[in-house]
Structure 1
Amino acid sequence: MPKEIEPSQDQQKEQVWKLFTDGESNDEGAGTGLRITNPEGQDFTYAIRLEFKSTNNEVEYEALLAGLRIAKKPGARHLEAHVDSMLVANQIEGSYDAKDEKMASYLTQAKALMAAFITCKVKHIKRSENKQADSLSKLASVGF
């Protein structure tokens, strides 16, 4: 049986999917915005309204969880997730503790979903670098 050859770093770079997430919670509701870009450069965008009351930190995690699940469906194996929540990025990295029970649960779920990818990195970005996901989350949070 032939041995499967791991792709080189250059090949892996070409296969990286990019995920941009944002969450919005306000008086009208909560929503998440996602932008996923496949290795060919095609963008897929999602605005997801959440039907439960949640804090801004909770919706930031909800956005990441939804993005991880959606990216996995078409077969993404290498993922680079960009979040504008410093709390989420630092809890995943391990530099912040998830002291709250709910945040600890979100962190556990995120790490479990991330483990399904060959490589999965979460990077903190500025809100100004995340305008499309930010706009989508605001749209999803508005009550119609």
Structure 2
Amino acid sequence: ADEGGSNNGDEPGDDDAGFNAHAFVAAKLEHVAADALERDLQTYERHLEAAVLKCVHDEVHEAFVHVSGELVSMEGTIARVQHPLADMEAKVGRMRGSIEAARGEAQTVLRQAARHEVARGFFAALLEASLVHND
């Protein structure tokens, strides 16, 4: 007997591979007791379920390993970016300090120049007054 059964694809149990489960069971029932066949099929079903779970686990594990590798690579990239950023922040901090110091010095020089300008104006006015008074 044809264990896979010849089928035209219209019988229940047909799948894309052409296996007909109903024909297979009917053929086995001629040679094997129904309860023994049921036990064998249940055992095979558990085996298939375990195989499916293993495949899923393996695929998930493989994906996890891949993603973990990507994360480790990303951590290295982040570390390489963070180091120059820390250096740049330190340089910017030093430059900011230098700029603030230069600004303070410029303000001091401007205040001194303003005082000198006031004094010069005073002395110029005093000189002019003295020249006008002496004439």
TM, length-normalised to structure 1: 0.20
TM, length-normalised to structure 2: 0.21
